[in-house]
Amino acid sequence: RPGAERWVPPDADVGSLREAAPGCRGCELWADATQVVFSAGTDRARVVLVGEQPGDKEDRAGEPFVGPAGGELDAALAAAGLDKDEVYLTNAVKHFRFEERGKRRIHKKPGVAHLEACHPWLEAELAAVAPSVVVCLGATAARAVLGRPVRIGEVRGELLETEGPAGPVRVLVTTHPSAVVRLRGRPEWQEAFDGLVADLRLAAG
């Protein structure tokens, strides 16, 4: 059976998970990516933020959210009064999926099969960190965390609940910071940014 399960050490802390992740062959995405992008932040976080997958910059750096979306997220976290060092940042899928167009690598949304294959890592991270709330950045993260497809417009900003590895976990779905980046320079940007900040503030409690 495909999937990350056999590469995920049982009952592991974040450090052991991070050490094991480069060996994962749970789906085909490892082959074309530069490296696995595991997570950042503290394993003692009350707030876990889940993105979609690493982008081009993250794939090269080996760190999540270091590209344009990361810049927007940093600003939103700061505006919400959340210190980046007090959250745990990860992705639903740990390898960069892309299409080559000439010299450029164009982001390609992970499929449901990739979300499912990579899910054991996310589950192990949630078990290790045991946060009081999980913030899903966008629909892909929400699907991975909630285990069902959701429409952002219908659930965003609401405190939901899901069954986690150690009992019920609070979940908040918000916009992906990339969607905010796309509005830069337009009048709609401010509202989108403020919406993201408001959701992060709610998650921060």
Query: Smallest distance from the beta carbon of 10 to ligand URA, in angstroms?
Result: 26
**Number of Cβ within a 10 Å radius of residue 179:** 17
Query: Smallest distance from the beta carbon of 141 to ligand SF4, in angstroms?
Result: 14
Coil, helix or strand for 203? helix
Per partner kind, with CB cut-offs from 5 to 8 A, the member of ligand URA, ligand SF4, none near residue 26 is ligand SF4
Return d(Cα 100, Cα 103) in angstroms, integer: 7
Return d(Cα 54, Cα 7) in angstroms, integer: 20
Residue, CB closest to ligand SF4: 26
Residue 6 is which amino acid?
A: R
Return d(Cα 135, Cα 100) in angstroms, integer: 31
Residue 102, judged by CB atoms within 10 A of its CB (0-12, 13-18, 19+), counts as: exposed
Return d(Cα 115, Cα 144) in angstroms, integer: 6
Residue among 137, 144, 112, 114 at smallest CA distance from 51: 137
With CB under 6 A as the contact rule, the residue among 48, 73, 87, 93 that binds ligand SF4 is: 93
Query: Smallest distance from the beta carbon of 53 to ligand URA, in angstroms?
Result: 6
Per partner kind, with CB cut-offs from 5 to 8 A, the member of ligand URA, ligand SF4, none near residue 156 is none
Site string for ligand SF4, 102-131 (x = CB under 6 A): ------------x--xx--x----------
- Identity of the residue, 34 or 162, whose beta carbon is nearer to ligand SF4 in the bound complex: 34
- Identity of the residue, 10 or 192, whose beta carbon is nearer to ligand URA in the bound complex: 192
Return d(Cα 88, Cα 45) in angstroms, integer: 6
Query: Smallest distance from the beta carbon of 93 to ligand URA, in angstroms?
Result: 9
With CB under 6 A as the contact rule, the residue among 52, 59, 72, 199 that binds ligand URA is: 52
Query: Smallest distance from the beta carbon of 132 to ligand SF4, in angstroms?
Result: 26
Coil, helix or strand for 101? strand
Q: Tell me: does residue 171 bind ligand SF4 (CB under 6 A).
A: no
With CB under 6 A as the contact rule, the residue among 24, 45, 73, 135 that binds ligand SF4 is: 24
- Identity of the residue, 8 or 47, whose beta carbon is nearer to ligand SF4 in the bound complex: 8
